[in-house]
Chain A
Amino acid sequence: MNNPGIRPECEELLNALEELNIEEGVTEAEVLSSLSMQPRQHAMECEECRSAVADRVTTRAALAPMKETLPEPGPWFGARVMAAVQTAENEIEEKRDGVWIGVRRLAPRLAAFAALLLVLGGTWAMEVRRREATLEGPEKRPVEGLFETTPNTVTNDDIVASSSEGVRP
Chain B
Amino acid sequence: MPEPVTGGSAETGEARREADRELVRRAQQGDKEAFETLVRKHQGRVFAVAGGILRTREDVEDIAQQVFLKAYFSIKRFDQRAAFSTWLYKITVNECWDLLRKKKVRPLLYEADLNEEQAHAYQSTEDGNECAPDVSERLEAREQLDQWLECLDEKDRTILVLKEVQGFTVEEIAGIMGLNGNTVKVRLFRARQRVAERIRRKKRAASV
Interface size class of B (residues with CB under 8 A): 35 or more
Q: Which residues of A contact B106 (CB under 8 A)?
A: none
- Is B87 located at the chain interface by the 8 A CB criterion? no
Given contacts A58-B199, A73-B43, A88-B73, 18 further A-B contacts (CB under 8 A): A15-B185, A23-B5, A26-B4, A26-B5, A30-B5, A34-B3, A51-B193, A52-B192, A56-B192, A65-B145, A66-B52, A68-B141, A69-B145, A73-B47, A77-B61, A81-B36, A81-B69, A82-B35
Pairs across A and B, CB under 8 Å, 16 listed: A14-B185, A18-B188, A21-B7, A30-B4, A59-B196, A63-B161, A64-B165, A70-B165, A71-B57, A78-B43, A81-B39, A81-B43, A81-B65, A82-B35, A84-B65, A84-B69
**A59 and B164 in contact (CB under 8 A), knowing A3-B186, A14-B189, A69-B142?**
yes
Interface residues of B (CB under 8 A from A): 3-8, 32, 35-36, 39-40, 43-44, 47-48, 51-52, 57, 60-61, 64-65, 68-69, 72-73, 138, 141-142, 145, 148, 160-161, 164-165, 167, 170, 182, 185-186, 188-189, 191-193, 195-196, 199-200
Interface size class of A (residues with CB under 8 A): 35 or more
Q: Which residues of A contact B65 (CB under 8 A)?
A: 77, 80-81, 84
Q: Which residues of B contact A20 (CB under 8 A)?
A: 5-7
In Å, the complex CA distance between A68 and B141 comes to 10
Q: Which residues of A contact B43 (CB under 8 A)?
A: 73, 77-78, 81
